[in-house]
Amino acid sequence: MTHESSSSSSSPSGLRHRTSAADKRPQTPPAQSRPIPIPPATSRKAIDTATFYGPSRATGSSHTAYIPPERSPFIEPELVMEEEPIPHDPPAWSETTTNWGEPSAEWDTITTTVESWGEQSASRKVAIDGRDDKEELTWFDPALRALRPGPGLLPPLLADMLHDPEHALYSVSTKPHTPSTSSHAPSADEVRTAIPHPNAYYCKDHNGWVFLQWRSSTVLPPLIREPETPFPDQARRKRTTSCVGEGEQPFGPANLTHHWHLYENAVDASKLNPPYTHGKLLLNLYLCCQCSMYCLVSDGVIPGVIPTSLVDEFTRDKLSHPAVDKTPRATVVAAWETILTILDNRLWRDEMRALPISRARFRGKVGWGDAVQKVFEAIGFPLGNLSQGENSAEPALQPPPIDPATLEGKTSRSKLLRAWVEVGAWLTIYEKSKDSLQDYNPMVLLVKAESARDMYQTGIGAHVSQITRGLLPIPLQGYAELDPSWRILGMTPSTYSWELLAFAYLAQCRCDPANTMVYFTHLWTIVHTMLQLGLNVPQDLQTVITQERSRFRFTPGDLADAVKTLGFGRDGDLGVELDNDVDDDFIAQAWRSARQRAWQNPTDASITRAKLNDALRLVAEFRGSDKLLKVWGDEKGTGMSPETAFSTLEVPRDVDETMLLTVYSMRIEDQPSQGERMREALSVIAEVTNSDRLRQFLTTGQDPGDGIITNTSPEMPRGLNQLGNTCYLNSLLQYFYTIKDLREAIASLAHADAKTLDDSKFTDDDLKRHRVGGRLVTRREIARSRKFVNLLAELFFNMEYCENPAITPEIELAKLALVTTQDEEEDEADKAGTDSSNDTDATLVDDMPPRPAYDRAPSSPLQSPGSAGSVLGKRSRDGEEGMDVDMSPPVASPTERVEMAKAASPSPPPHDTQEAAEFISDAVASSSKLPTPADVEMKDESQSNKAPPLPPRKPRQTEDSVMMFGRQHDVSECMDNCMFQIETALLDFQGMATSDDDKTSPVKRLFYGKKRQRLTSLSPTDDARHQSSIHEKEDLFSHLHVNVADEGFDIYDGLARYFDDVVELGGQKKRMEVSLVDLPPLLQIQLQRVQFNRETQQAYKSQAYVKFGETVYMDRFLDSASPEKKARSKEIQAELTAARDRVQRLTQGKHAPFAPALANVADFLSKQTAIDLPADDALVTSLQDEEKIVTEKLRVERERTARLKQQLEDIWKDDTSAAYELTSVFIHRGSSPSWGHYFFYSRNLPGHPNSWFKYNDSDVSSVSKDEVLADTTGSTANPYMLVFVRKDCDAIETVHRFNPETVEEGE
């Protein structure tokens, strides 16, 4: 059977390029050089899988071993095809883009339909990875085009691109030939290598070969040159072996299928292993942007020995003139078998006799004619005369030489072997046809040909078992008008499903953002056609359209309408076309002018101005203009009418501009919260009146007629005077004041006297029903807490109403904040006097559990003299000391507690559930309980209520740096103490019982979240006793702790260690995994800067810079985060930690850094003259070489660290739902962990998020964002606590001041 629609043309490389009725050459949207391949659609059914000749292999496209032939000093001549080239069809793009805008002509009608579709939350998630919301929303940014690989295609379209889908490819192999006595008989290796390459597949319809290879590899094939368009991100590609296939993605597919990208003529086949040795052959490279798969294919057919046209002509002639005793098909088979026999006799029997063409037997089997002669000339049998005998003039075909010792013989031999393989393959495939040969018995063929379609379709992900067929609605089958849309989106209509269509669209937008609107146009064209034909559009596909429209996607028709709306075009108000010669300033002025003219028709003004706003944004995005986008964002307003503008400023329409600006400034002063609305009102009036004076004022803040008019800002916050070493308490109190809900809750207790505080009656039973910090509270604590909150409310009242620039807190307030109840009790116990007048027998027994003897440990031998708790760091999970503030012994770390308990008992510590739960709680340094670990009940209630005796105390030391109230704690513990007292003071004993999960308390509601902690065995070889200690629990938290490292460290690195760490329990290392179940509105992250030098036995403050930004995304740490991403992150994090450890060993430690040390020693030895030392140039050279090695190793490790860090961040870059914005930064200035100065920054929320205040005790000043986020490397002023507020949460009101003028006007 022949295909009239197909023909071939030869190229200079000897390849025949294919053309067909539907051109399959790559296409690209306008303004892009990247091609989008466009083959015709196919629904051809895949047939059985076949293997290549030789032993079958498990992976890849090559199924044969390769033995390289001996190199010859001669170059094999290329075959020259005597065919006329057939011109290619014109690109299909020009035929399809002229009607882009047609769907948008009915957009208003269709939008009504779309708006009635389901909510976005109903959409099913399409499996696609690598998207970046920010990039997709700024698709018009030219910088993105240099980073993305451009348009791609899905596997079914790639399958059609590899070769004509109407043709089949076959894997060809040979059987052993009958042994021959000829000295020139081909060897088995010669026969095997007659096939062009192990990855060459035979096409009967072209009588040629297609080079086709697919494989998964992190190493790209050898490239001829760098591509014109960038490769996909190679780091991302290396993460996944394949996007398809069972077991490739154990946590579910990150991508629905492959997304292939074409790089034309990128690979030289002669550089492959094994190489292609039959002339020059350039291969097209297809890369999947999301995994390690790539595919190589020849850009055309490697021609066979006999040209396709001759094969077709010879076959047609035999079909048209069958032999008398044979069917037409039998005649064809007999003719080709005769040619195959002639080739076989010449090669294996060394038949040298000429073949007379006029004899009956030859003519009966082959015949004679122009086509027959050309066939024999192609295989090397030229027409001549018999060389001897009486019929020496008889025409005959002359056999070619095959002696491999000569160049001519070697060339002829190679050609004959290739022709023998190709004719045998052709016959094998031809005889598989169902058409009967009747009584004809074909010869036994030594060439096998088996279909490769299933094999290569499965390899590239296009098999029917991988991508379902048959879901396309019947009315769309064969619907030619949609063919361009399917092809531009990179898919075939036969493989339609709503998921695959959505994936194709999103993948194109991801990889080719510059043409986002082109792809949206074609997606909409398909959906719109389905609507027009009355088909049921899947709900999820409707949701995709709705979501994309909400992201301001538009069609070319929308663009044309926008240009017309702005007044451009031959018939527009401006009379000029909008092209690249029109600058942004002109467009902005045209927009402003059109908005002003809109007021001439007040009835439709608001609608017209809204359309103009949309038009400017659309044009700005299309042009990729940041300037126009800024103009749009700054000036678009909310659609306020002139009447509303004058009414907002409370001025008449005929007000003069001087008075208007005066009134405007007054209104801003009076109503600062309405500043933006006032500004918009003034902007509308400036447009209506066409006032340049008002416009300049809005731009510069200065009145060009009356000098500078400044808006009086709201009052600055008040500072707090120091009481003596209380600067960090001042920072904490200022921070509390910025929290609106907390401030309002505390304000209710302002001006309450002592009698009022004591009037609240509660019984012992009431006390038992309410817990704070996981424990019961005593009457003494309640009274103390209410006193504290009363004083705090008084302070807050003064901060709101006082006119003085700074306020002095009460001494009693500072004492209650800095000293805990337990510290007071212990101080009183030291003095043998405990005030228990407020306690009853019930509270003395039940208010808290017995305290283990090791809760307050004696001074550790590793403790520095005179050091204790931590100012800059909560007690570390690793057992590091805290920053010194008081003289009390440090609280033992979780590991130390277990070891002390073990040492105090003759038997090992129990490994039961209770112990594991307690260890989890302690090891994570949870802030969900009070500062002292004994505050949380971790033992069974049935245990003895008798408290054990306290261990003997060592006499307290004193020093000058101790703060004014003796024993004090770090900022985190002070904060816990304050929050405990606030929550206790606000207890409602008339209400329901409270628990840790109760969210009615403002403290719990604002600061506390829930985490899940899991303690697991680190190794599966752990014995049964330790396997049984695997436990999981949930707990509250108010702080997250980041242990500050030294190099390449940011906030995510620190949090990652907190959420996944290795701890020691009972002599066994365990993995501590933490995830967040519920996040609080305010997220407090403490940077633990206190480190311990085990060699000097001294604590020190780490000055390392920890990078953080204005926003942190907590999605990766959520309990609901993607398990696949978590697993991949854990792998990369382990590599990253190892690389950082290697860097640290080379740069820190006892003898580090090594590179400078080696260089200094080498320099000293080479230059010193003070000591008479024998010259040792070898030693100096060795030291210099070692220094170079260390330096190079350090460079490699740092590059690896940066690369791994980027890979880690890329995994989570699309997870941005749990967004938190920076609101407060606490700073410690000083090099010692025992002393220093404290201040903090607070963001001016909610009204001015780009401005910050610096609270430095009594001094409060405005600072820039850059100061807050600055790199603190080399500085002793470092952040030690960061506070983030949940995005779109109004918990923070930084400036809260009373304005007396509002009261006077109200009166």
- Of 373, 419, 428, which Cα lies nearest the Cα of 396? 373
pLDDT over threshold 80, residue 1282: yes
Q: Quick one: CA torsion of 1112, 1113, 1118, 1123, rounded to 10 degrees?
A: -130
Residue percentage of the chain with pLDDT more than 90:
21
Least confident range from 495-499, 502-506, 835-839, 1029-1033: namely 835-839
- Of 1273, 1209, 1282, which Cα lies nearest the Cα of 1047? 1273
More confident of the two residues 1118 and 760: 1118
Q: Are residues 813 and 795 in contact, defined by beta-carbon separation less than 8 angstroms?
A: yes
Give Cα 1051 distance to the centre of its chain.
18
Q: Are residues 489 and 508 in contact, defined by beta-carbon separation less than 8 angstroms?
A: yes
What is the C-alpha to C-alpha distance for residues 869 and 888, in angstroms, rounded to an integer?
7
The predicted structure's pLDDT at residue 15: 53
pLDDT over threshold 70, residue 276: yes
What is the C-alpha to C-alpha distance for residues 489 and 1006, in angstroms, rounded to an integer?
48
Tokens coding 997: 């999960």
3-state SS record for 50-88: CCCCCCCCCCCCCCCCCCCCCCCCCCCCCCCCCCCCCCC
Task: Calculate mean pLDDT across residues 27-44.
Answer: 43
Tokens coding 706: 């009356």
C-alpha distances (whole Å) from 122 to each of 112, 146, 496, 544, 991 are 19, 35, 21, 10, 40
Quick: pLDDT tens for 236-246.
898 889 998 76
What is the C-alpha to C-alpha distance for residues 114 and 112, in angstroms, rounded to an integer?
5
The strand pair at 355-356 and 302-303 is best described as unpaired
Query: In one letter, which amino acid is 1064?
Result: E
Q: Are residues 1100 and 1233 in contact, defined by beta-carbon separation less than 8 angstroms?
A: yes
Q: Quick one: CA torsion of 555, 559, 565, 567, rounded to 10 degrees?
A: -160
Task: Residue 284: count other Cβ atoms within 10 Å of its Cβ.
Answer: 21
Quick: pLDDT tens for 39-79.
444 333 333 333 333 333 333 444 444 444 444 443 333 43
What is the C-alpha to C-alpha distance for residues 399 and 412, in angstroms, rounded to an integer?
10
- Of 339, 274, 248, which Cα lies nearest the Cα of 52? 274
Least confident range from 421-435, 636-650, 838-852, 1223-1237: namely 838-852
More confident of the two residues 1134 and 45: 1134
The predicted structure's pLDDT at residue 250: 59
Residues 6+ apart with CB under 8 A from 1185: none
3-class secondary-structure state, position 941: coil
Task: Calculate mean pLDDT across residues 720-732.
Answer: 76
Distance in Å from the first CA to the final CA of the chain: 101
Q: Are residues 319 and 300 in contact, defined by beta-carbon separation less than 8 angstroms?
A: no
The predicted structure's pLDDT at residue 1022: 58
More confident of the two residues 720 and 209: 209
Quick: pLDDT tens for 972-992.
678 788 888 888 888 776 655
Query: In one letter, which amino acid is 319?
Result: L
Tokens 């220093």 appear where?
1236
pLDDT over threshold 60, residue 758: no
The half-sphere exposure of 955 on its side-chain side, counting CA atoms within 13 A, is 2
The predicted structure's pLDDT at residue 604: 80
Task: Calculate mean pLDDT across residues 428-448.
Answer: 83
Least confident range from 13-17, 34-38, 1075-1079: namely 34-38
Q: Quick one: CA torsion of 1077, 1081, 1087, 1088, rounded to 10 degrees?
A: -60
pLDDT over threshold 80, residue 172: yes
Task: Calculate mean pLDDT across residues 294-318.
Answer: 93
More confident of the two residues 895 and 1053: 1053
Quick: pLDDT tens for 886-919.
333 333 333 343 344 334 433 343 444 344 334 3
The predicted structure's pLDDT at residue 507: 93
Tokens 């080399």 appear where?
1274
Query: In one letter, which amino acid is 384?
Result: G
pLDDT over threshold 90, residue 173: yes
The predicted structure's pLDDT at residue 101: 39
Task: Residue 47: count other Cβ atoms within 10 Å of its Cβ.
Answer: 12
What is the C-alpha to C-alpha distance for residues 931 and 687, in angstroms, rounded to an integer?
61
Q: Are residues 768 and 846 in contact, defined by beta-carbon separation less than 8 angstroms?
A: yes
3-class secondary-structure state, position 769: coil
Task: Calculate mean pLDDT across residues 1026-1055.
Answer: 76
What is the C-alpha to C-alpha distance for residues 579 and 23, in angstroms, rounded to an integer?
32
Quick: pLDDT tens for 131-169.
888 788 888 787 776 678 899 999 999 999 999 989 999
pLDDT over threshold 90, residue 1014: no
Stretch (H or E) spanning 1051: helix 1051-1059
What is the C-alpha to C-alpha distance for residues 1252 and 1248, in angstroms, rounded to an integer?
8
How confident is residue 755, by pLDDT bands cut at 50, 70 and 90?
low
The predicted structure's pLDDT at residue 1025: 52
Burial of 178 (0-12, 13-18, 19+ CB in 10 A): exposed
pLDDT over threshold 90, residue 522: yes
Quick: pLDDT tens for 1191-1202.
888 888 888 888
Most confident stretch, 27-31, 819-823, 1020-1024: 819-823
What is the C-alpha to C-alpha distance for residues 66 and 64, in angstroms, rounded to an integer?
6
- Of 827, 892, 874, 865, which Cα lies nearest the Cα of 961? 865
Burial of 1294 (0-12, 13-18, 19+ CB in 10 A): buried
The predicted structure's pLDDT at residue 715: 65
Least confident range from 475-484, 1122-1131, 1228-1237, 1244-1253: namely 1228-1237
DSSP 97: G
* DSSP letters for 223-280: BSS--SSPPP-HHHHHH-S-SSSTTTSTT--SSSS--EEEEEEEEEGGGSSSPP-SS-
821 dihedral zone (left: phi>0; alpha: psi -120 to 50; beta): alpha
The predicted structure's pLDDT at residue 1303: 53
The predicted structure's pLDDT at residue 896: 40
597 dihedral zone (left: phi>0; alpha: psi -120 to 50; beta): alpha
How confident is residue 839, by pLDDT bands cut at 50, 70 and 90?
very low
Q: Are residues 678 and 649 in contact, defined by beta-carbon separation less than 8 angstroms?
A: yes
The predicted structure's pLDDT at residue 29: 58
Task: Calculate mean pLDDT across residues 920-947.
Answer: 36
Task: Residue 398: count other Cβ atoms within 10 Å of its Cβ.
Answer: 17
3-class secondary-structure state, position 728: helix
Determine the angle formed by the axes of helices 626-635 and 584-598, rounding to 10 degrees: 20
Tokens coding 204: 């009967």
What is the C-alpha to C-alpha distance for residues 1075 and 1125, in angstroms, rounded to an integer?
14
Query: In one letter, which amino acid is 1075?
Result: S
Q: Quick one: CA torsion of 561, 563, 565, 571, rounded to 10 degrees?
A: -100
The predicted structure's pLDDT at residue 880: 39
Least confident range from 388-392, 620-624, 924-928, 1242-1246: namely 924-928
Tokens coding 203: 């096409």
Stretch (H or E) spanning 314: helix 308-320
Least confident range from 250-254, 609-613, 821-825, 1269-1273: namely 250-254
The per-residue pLDDT of the chain, averaged, comes to: 75
3-class secondary-structure state, position 13: coil
Residue percentage of the chain with pLDDT more than 70:
71
What is the C-alpha to C-alpha distance for residues 956 and 954, in angstroms, rounded to an integer?
6
The predicted structure's pLDDT at residue 1034: 83
* Cis peptide preceding 890, ω within 30 of 0: no
What is the C-alpha to C-alpha distance for residues 601 and 512, in angstroms, rounded to an integer?
43
C-alpha distances (whole Å) from 590 to each of 480, 637, 639, 640 are 42, 17, 18, 20
What is the C-alpha to C-alpha distance for residues 269 and 282, in angstroms, rounded to an integer?
6
Least confident range from 77-86, 202-211, 270-279: namely 77-86
Nearest 5°: the CA angle 377, 379, 383 is: 30
Least confident range from 199-208, 441-450, 1056-1065: namely 1056-1065
Q: Quick one: CA torsion of 1018, 1019, 1022, 1025, rounded to 10 degrees?
A: 30
What is the C-alpha to C-alpha distance for residues 588 and 253, in angstroms, rounded to an integer?
46
More confident of the two residues 464 and 1066: 464
Tokens coding 397: 């075909």
Determine the angle formed by the axes of helices 642-649 and 657-670, rounding to 10 degrees: 60
Quick: pLDDT tens for 1158-1193.
888 877 777 776 777 777 778 878 888 888 888 888
